Amino acid sequence: MNNAGTWWLKGAWIELGIEQALMDVIEAACQRHRAESDVPLRVLTHSREVLVRKNETLAFLPLFEEMTRLIHLDTYDDDGLGWLVGAPQVYRSETMESYLTDLTRLKIAAPLGQALATCYWRAWYATGRIPDSHVFYVDMHDKVIWTNKPSPVGFVSALHEVHACLKQTFVHGRGGHALFGQTYAADVHLSEVVVQVAQTLGQAIGPGTIQVIVTDREGSSVEVMKQLAAQNVAMAALLKVNQYSGETDFVRQGRFLKLKDVHTGDVTHRVADADFQLTPDLTVRAALIYDSAHPDDLIVLVTTVRRETEPDIRRIVRWYLGRWNAQENSFRDQIAFVHLNVNFGLRVKYAVPDRRVAQRIADLTTHWAAVTRKLDSKLSQLADLERQLQNQIARHDQKMTDLLRPPKRPGAQAAAHAAKRAQQLQDYRQRYHQQLSKRLAHRTQLEHEIEEHRQEQTRVTHELTRLDPQAKFFEVDTEKDQIMAHLRIGLHNSALWARDHYFGSIYRHATPLTLWRTFFNQDGFYRETPDQIVVTLKPFRTIRTQREALKACQRFNARQVKTLFGKIIEMRIADCI
């Protein structure tokens, strides 16, 4: 049997409760479908044995000959996958596509995600073995899709470009385990779904379990903080660099403290507790951070964790610094081991109102209204100015008439009065022309601004007429992709479970891909009896690996792992070929 070491993964898959959770969710969905619909589905006629085989074929597909898509089953010509899933012969792509389509119609993605989250939580966190299990990490992973139809687009951080894609929001535990994932359209922003994802996970693992959400800058907003606070959930995220200029923007609440690496004891950061006025009505706690590698660059972490709850700001900073190992490395491992970036179900699209066009229409309508208000204001100012000019000209004419009127009584002082009047006339004309020049310049400016506003109004109106408010674009039905994502997360977590429970401490931090190359891809022999499945691995190349594999088999066998139908799985290693 090729890749006989994958039976360790199947044992972990069973022990995590994934196999049972899948069966429970599918059977409940089948019962609901029978009660609500008369549409016949092939999956409704399957026995439990067939359901298990097909579920495991979908899940374990990437473990054999680098198969990433169902179509690759048609070129698979070995027995390893069939023996692993208990099928007389390996299913072909048409059969599995039909089965996956039936699961999509049953709408199992949402309940399956919650059921699996419960399994993972119970396996790793419910016992309190992992410190700070009340802290969770939320982030998005981008999966590029290729389509020639108008589709929602989003920024793909790995490529630093905008593409049609799917946005997968993941929640990881403090120990680096992916607990829950949800797929969204490309134009969904992380801050829009943080609260929803936290609520969904909370329903699965129990109210009050989630106490702190750690996310990156994209997921942080005042509204998110307030919504989480209303649910007694705190948040921690980095502050954007354009939101502060330096330490003077903060009110320090203590001196700078040294933050040391827990493994080496080296000082990695200096951290100080502070307060920051995020908005006029919201002041939040902040951590002022200086990285020892970049001592002149200030990094700011804002959080709603109260000082009464956690007095030491360094602990909160450690939670955030742990985000890379707990979440970012998990994304990398899943991409390498279970091909997380592979999409499923892209052919199923449905037309929806084009949100880009709708948003553009809304923005232009708002802009048009603002330009119209400015235009009306300028026209009103111009009308007032015209009245002022007319009044000024009338006063000027009246004044000139008075000053040019000859004196009534000529006399000895007539010459002096004439000179004085001539000086008054000259001064008045000078003042008049100065005031008139200012008003005429103001009128010219107003007329110029009015013309600009009219041109802008015309441009916006023209652009609005070119936009179709009934425009559609095509969204991918993410149900099928979501189901496969749950299965692949389950396979990845099975590798982590096998690492934690079957292999020694030397492999405590090994990635699933490393375990695959070292143990899981080892060939062997398969034998089945009425009450037992015996898998005998071929000898490993090195004495050290042989010894570790032997201990792993002993630990595995001591756990008496049984399939869903009661057969005990026993793993052995041959002494020689």
pLDDT, tens digit (0-9, with 9 covering 90-100), for 298-336 = 999 999 999 999 999 999 999 999 999 999 999 999 999
Please say whether the beta carbons of 498 and 528 come within 8 A: no
Alpha helical stretches, state H, 470-537 = 479-501, 512-515
Looking at residue 157, its pLDDT comes to 67
Element (H, E) at 179: strand 178-185
What is the spatial distance between Cα 15 and Cα 33, in angstroms, rounded to a whole number? 29
Give the chain's radius of gyration (CA, Å).
Answer: 36
Has residue 158 got a pLDDT over 90? Answer: no
Q: If pLDDT is split at 50, 70 and 90, which confidence band does 177 have?
A: very high
What is the spatial distance between Cα 338 and Cα 497, in angstroms, rounded to a whole number? 15
Enter the tokens of residue 283.
Answer: 């002041």
Cα–Cα nearest to 212, from 228, 179, 235, 232:
235
Enter the tokens of residue 471.
Answer: 């425009």
Which pLDDT tens digit goes with each residue over 199-254? 999 999 998 899 999 998 888 889 999 999 999 999 999 998 888 999 999 999 98
Q: How many helices (H) and strands (E) does the chain have?
A: 16, 16
Cα–Cα nearest to 388, from 333, 454, 435:
435
Has residue 150 got a pLDDT over 80? Answer: no
Looking at residue 357, its pLDDT comes to 85
Has residue 152 got a pLDDT over 80? Answer: no
What is the spatial distance between Cα 389 and Cα 441, in angstroms, rounded to a whole number? 12
Cα-based angle 267, 268, 274 (whole degrees, multiple of 5): 100
Which pLDDT tens digit goes with each residue over 525-571? 999 898 999 999 999 989 999 999 999 999 999 999 999 888 999 99
Please say whether the beta carbons of 317 and 269 come within 8 A: yes
Residues 372-388: what's their mean pLDDT?
A: 92
Q: What is the 3-state secondary structure (H, E, C) of 191-233?
A: HHHHHHHHHHHHHHHCCCCCCEEEECHHHCCHHHHHHHHHCCC
Looking at residue 117, its pLDDT comes to 96
DSSP string over 451-462: HHHHHHHHHHHH
Looking at residue 576, its pLDDT comes to 58
Q: What is the 3-state secondary structure (H, E, C) of 392-407?
A: HHHHHHHHHHHHHCCC
Neighbours of 271 (CB within 10 A): 24
Alpha helical stretches, state H, 107-221 = 109-124, 190-205
Determine the straight-line distance between the first and last CA of the chain, rounded to whole angstroms: 14
Q: What is the 3-state secondary structure (H, E, C) of 268-296?
A: EEEEEEEEEEEECCEEEEEEEEEECCEEE
Which pLDDT tens digit goes with each residue over 399-437? 788 777 776 666 667 777 777 778 878 887 888 888 888
Buried b (16+ CB within 10 A) or exposed e, 403-441: eeeeeeeeeeeeeeeeeebeeeeeeeeeebeeeeeeeee
Has residue 577 got a pLDDT over 60? Answer: no
Beta strands in 311-377 (DSSP E): 349-353
Has residue 502 got a pLDDT over 90? Answer: yes
What is the spatial distance between Cα 53 and Cα 86, in angstroms, rounded to a whole number? 6
Residues 476-497: what's their mean pLDDT?
A: 92
Has residue 354 got a pLDDT over 90? Answer: no
Residues 271-275: what's their mean pLDDT?
A: 95
Neighbours of 67 (CB within 10 A): 17
What is the spatial distance between Cα 240 and Cα 245, in angstroms, rounded to a whole number? 11
Q: What is the mean pLDDT of the chain?
A: 90
Please say whether the beta carbons of 255 and 314 come within 8 A: no
- Global pTM value: 0.83
Enter the tokens of residue 49.
Answer: 């044995």
Residues 76-81: what's their mean pLDDT?
A: 89
552-558 contacts at long range (C-beta below 8 A, 24 or more positions apart): 552/8, 552/502, 552/503, 552/504, 552/519, 555/501, 555/502, 555/503, 556/8, 556/11, 556/502
Enter the tokens of residue 276.
Answer: 């920051």
What is the spatial distance between Cα 327 and Cα 173, in angstroms, rounded to a whole number? 8
